[in-house]
Amino acid sequence: MPYVHDTLTRLKKSSPAQSEFYQATEEVLECLRPLFQQNPRYHQHSIIERIVEPERQIMFRISWIDDAGNVKVNKGYRVQFNSALGPYKGGLRFHPSVTSGTIKFLGFEQIFKNALTGLPIGGGKGGSDFDPKGKSDNEIMRFCQAFMSELHRHIGPHSDVPAGDIGVGAREIGYLFGQYKRLTGRYEGVLTGKGLNWGGSLGRKEATGYGAVYFAQNMLAARNEELNGKTCLVSGAGNVAIYTIEKLYELGAKPITCSDSSGTIHDANGIDLALLKQLKEVQRTSLEAYLNEHPDAHYISVRDYPQNGNAVWRIKADAAFPCATQNELTESDASALLENGVTCISEGANMPSTTEAVDLFLAAKIAYGPGKAANAGGVATSQLEMAQNSSMEQWSLEKVDKKLKEIMANIHKQCADTAEEFGEPTNLVLGANIAGFRKVADAMIEQGVT
């Protein structure tokens, strides 16, 4: 269809040098071709031309002072992509790799992920090229205060509700919320991922990892299989990876890997979850320290990774959970996973597999859950936190977890049913993209040209 090609061509001219954004939009638009053939009204209302452009892009300077008294400068972003279904919702990422293109790709993905949850939330994303690693608590506090001094005028509980992402955990959310309250004089649910004593939700920290495992559980159940007894590979060592590992253990699986920016741990006996939490949530140190307690485990430094991939994906297993970052899983990694017998992949990170890797998974017809579906548990539970804030109550962990299970089961059903409808029953990428797009596009049409 020429208008898919034309839209992508225009996008590359209007948003130059944003390869991750092009990758995300091309994947979605290519999946939508059968929908456009079936229903021309989306073309008639110029939905794809409108949906690939953010409603609003905010870029700003962040000036702050380090512990030595030096003035530091970073760049901040908030992309409010689409509000057809509700207030903008999406995390803040603090990492040196953050660019405008990174935030746009994440915000674009967020539109469809949020639509799949069935909850009233639109899509947005934000962040900065600030690196929290190696910074003191006071430096992080001063940065967060400077960041929120600009961002506060663009967000609110009924307009845009940010959350955490890479580099933004409970500590950062606390500093951000404190500054918002100081500047506005309002105590309201403008951020999610808050502390349990001041408006946070039980289960929020665990939700993305738990959700990715629940999604895998649903994919396997559809094939008359289960997670119990399966050996699993997990990448990353942040919240998503830690709580993916925790839920895998609860369901009888054995996670044997985790990784960080320095290297990969392979523990054939199963990852020591308590030690991993101590190293990453308390000490905030490298995974290499894992060997001090488990000298029998194998540590693979990034210096020794395969030239065209990641060591974590070269280990024999039954299932894989990419939970680190975008494009961490290459075509070569995908080939290795398939050769080593992996038949289930559930993405805890956003777009962690390259386009070529995804093509291999789809061709092999394995149980493959794309990030916009498999990792939607985090944003779903963020919306549950918003609901609790609005009603001024806190739900039990059992209630939150029950709702999370139901939401992930429903997301899988939507993806599977839509894939079946369009004649590709094993293609949950197509199912997720069409199901999410239809909800947003129909709302855009009903709300007129805005």
Task: Give tens-digit pLDDT for 417-438.
Answer: 999 999 999 999 999 999 999 9
Tokens 């395969």 identify what position? 306
Domains of the chain, each with CATH number or no CATH? 55-188 (3.40.50.10860), 205-374 (3.40.50.720)
- What is the reported pLDDT for 18? 94
Q: What is the structure's pLDDT at 417?
A: 98
Q: Is the pLDDT of residue 252 over 70?
A: yes
What is residue 247's predicted lDDT score, i.e. its pLDDT? 98
Spatial CB neighbours of 51, under 8 Å, sequence gap ≥ 6: 82, 111, 437, 440, 441, 444
Annotated catalytic residue 254: no
At residue 58, the pLDDT reads 98
DSSP line for 414-433: HHHHHHHHTT-TT-HHHHHH
Q: Flag whether pLDDT at 1 surpasses 60.
A: no
Return mean pLDDT, the chain: 96
Which of these is catalytic: 89, 125, 230, 280? Answer: 125
Query: Is the model's pLDDT at 66 over the cut of 70?
Result: yes
Buried b / exposed e across 324-350, counting CB within 10 Å, b at 16+? bbbbbbbbbbbbbbbeeebbbbbbbbb
**Model's pTM, two decimal places?**
0.94
pLDDT tens per residue across span 314-362: 999 999 999 999 999 999 999 999 999 999 999 999 999 999 999 999 9
